[in-house]
Chain A
Amino acid sequence: MIEQAVFWILGAIMVAGALGVILMPNTINSVMSLLLSMLSLAGFYILMGAHVVALFQIIVYVGAVLVLFLYVIMLLNLKEKGLKLPMEASTWAIGGMSLGLVFVVAWLFWQSLRETVFTGDAGTTDAPATIHQLAIDLFSQHLLIFELTSVLLLVAVIGAIIISKK
């Protein structure tokens, strides 16, 4: 009962935040809306019993990525009137296509999840809850993906250093 209430409240906050990101005329407000979205996403992870994922969500996105977004936007000092989208045919076409894509994805999710999720428990318990289970999982079952991701990150770091040296 309480879980359902929390779910709907978090959902409402998340959707409002997501809408805020694209509708706010002030870019700082957009970033802060994104922050709200990210925090409620962390709340969803906690509802699913994945506390570690929720905390990493906050550490990585809220603690680092969004701070840098905010930092860069404040340094750019954007003026509100300069940010209006040009109302051309291509803008409308891209907007319409994106909206259509969102609806298609939502419809696909709805179709595929309708049978499984709404019957019985939401399957909250089998997510790896403790850091020990998560580590064992990560370094046995998903070792290849983990190593590939770390190589990707290393390449990105070296790339960033080379670009900033120029």
Chain B
Amino acid sequence: MIVEILLQIIKIIAIFAVVMGCVAYLTLMERKCLGFFQIRLGPNRVGPWGLLQPVADGIKLFFKEDMTVLHANKFYFILAPVISLVAVLFCFAVVPFAGNVYIIDIPVAVLYLMAISSMGVYGVLLAGWSSNNKYSAMGGYRATAQMISYEIPLALAIVGVLILSRSMSIVDIVNAQKGMWNIVKQPLGFIIYLVCTFAETNRCPFDLYECENELVAGYQTEYSSMKFALFYMGEYAHIFLASCLITLFYLGGWNGPVLPALLWFFMKVFFCAFCFIWVRATYPRFRYDQLMNLSWKVMLPLAFLNLIVTAIIVVMF
């Protein structure tokens, strides 16, 4: 009993360390890739090829002055960044990295993911409200409307995958893709999922709740030091989680020839993460009404169409 609990704790710490390590180096990867896309070098001063840059950033953020604005609601001001990081980290409990590398494989894993990731909205909304600042509040409102709108087509797109694999356990979903990846069977679902993920993770072209030319920095305007760093970590952890989920749901997870499973998984995940950065470097931002129209008038009907066609084909053949 005690040995089992200890083993589980060691697993949790190991996966946590891997996730946080990946999150730290995603920031470096983003800056390096942006440098490449904009024909400049990117960070290259700290350590060889700038490899120690995330460490330096972390130390810098720790020693910044931690300010709380006078009119802020202190309790929610501190709670908000905690919620937005914790809601993402909780999701990694059911994310398998390979056939036997996971913390737990529950039969309702996909539902768990939807439940926990929907709590992330509170972080943004409370941060916007408690800062007591009009730009923060605007950012918070936009974030909530956007996240709720895009959660629906996102969930409907996943249901297509669930119908094909007849299970809600992520390990089963990946095993069902042994012969053919879901991206081949569900091309429309994949596109819907990808677009909605960009909106959920607050990435360009959908980064409307912190668009700097209208809202300063949106909900995180008043945050500094480690509280800001928590938001930042939460955002990159969310990108990492989204890359993992795209890989698991549509790109065959750890399935692949010759190379070991873990290597395949991380290659696919970092390819997805690269796509996130690629899109950021390439596309301009949407206008807010365009964003809402896209969700309710394009994504939602397409997601329903995808779901109905998938269900009919699975039942008929």
Q: Is the CB of B107 within 8 A of A59?
A: no
Cα–Cα distance between A68 and B112 once the two chains are bound (Å): 21
Distance of A152 Cα from B281 Cα, bound (Å): 46
The CA of A54 and the CA of B116, in the complex, are separated in Å by: 12
Whether A59 contacts B108 by the Cβ 8 Å rule is: no
- Minimal beta-carbon separation of A2 from chain B (angstroms): 12
Q: Which residues of chain B (82-126) have a CB below 8 Å from chain A?
A: 106-108, 111-112, 114-116, 118-119, 121-122, 125
CA of A28 to CA of B126, assembled, Å: 9
| Residue A160 is within 8 A (CB to CB) of chain B in the complex | no
A164 → B minimal CB distance (Å): 12
For window 63-82 of A, CB contacts with B under 8 Å fall at 63-64, 67-68, 70-71, 74-75
B118: chain A residues within 8 A (beta carbon): 58-59, 62-64, 67
In the complex the two chains form, what is the Cα distance from A28 to B56 in whole Å? 38
Q: Quick check: which of B18-26, B40-48, B136-144, B191-199 contacts chain A, the rest being far away? A: B136-144
Tally of A-B Cβ pairs under 8 angstroms: 60
Q: Within 8 Å CB of B140, what residues of A?
A: 74
B125 and A71 contact, CB distance less than 8 A: yes
B144 and A71 contacting across the interface, CB-CB below 8 Å: yes
Indicate whether B76 reaches chain A with its CB closer than 8 angstroms: yes
Q: How far is the CB of B135 from chain A (nearest CB, A)?
A: 15
A74 touches B108 (CB 8 A): no
A:114-137 near B, CB below 8 Å: 130-131
**Does A56 have its Cβ within 8 Å of any Cβ on chain B?**
yes
Expressed in whole angstroms, the Cα–Cα distance for A63 and B154 within the complex equals: 14
B168 near A58 (CB under 8 angstroms)? no
Does A62 lie within 8 Å of B141, measured CB to CB? Answer: no
Cβ of A130: which chain B residues have Cβ within 8 Å of it? Answer: 107-108
Please tell me if A52 contacts chain B, counting CB pairs below 8 Å: yes
Q: Which of A36-75 contact B (CB under 8 A)?
A: 51-52, 55-56, 58-59, 62-64, 67-68, 70-71, 74-75
How many whole Å from A38's CB to the nearest CB in chain B?
11
Select which of B108, B116, B125, B145 is within 8 A of A51 by beta carbon.
B108
- Taking the closest CB of chain A, its distance from the CB of B116, in whole angstroms, is 8
Q: B210 on the interface (CB 8 Å rule)?
A: no
Contact of B144 with A28 in the complex, beta carbons under 8 Å? no
If A56-B111, A59-B111 touch, whether A28 touches B148 (CB-CB below 8 Å) is no
B residues adjacent to A (C-beta < 8 A): 73, 76, 106-108, 111-112, 114-116, 118-119, 121-122, 125, 129, 137, 140-141, 144-145, 148, 151, 168
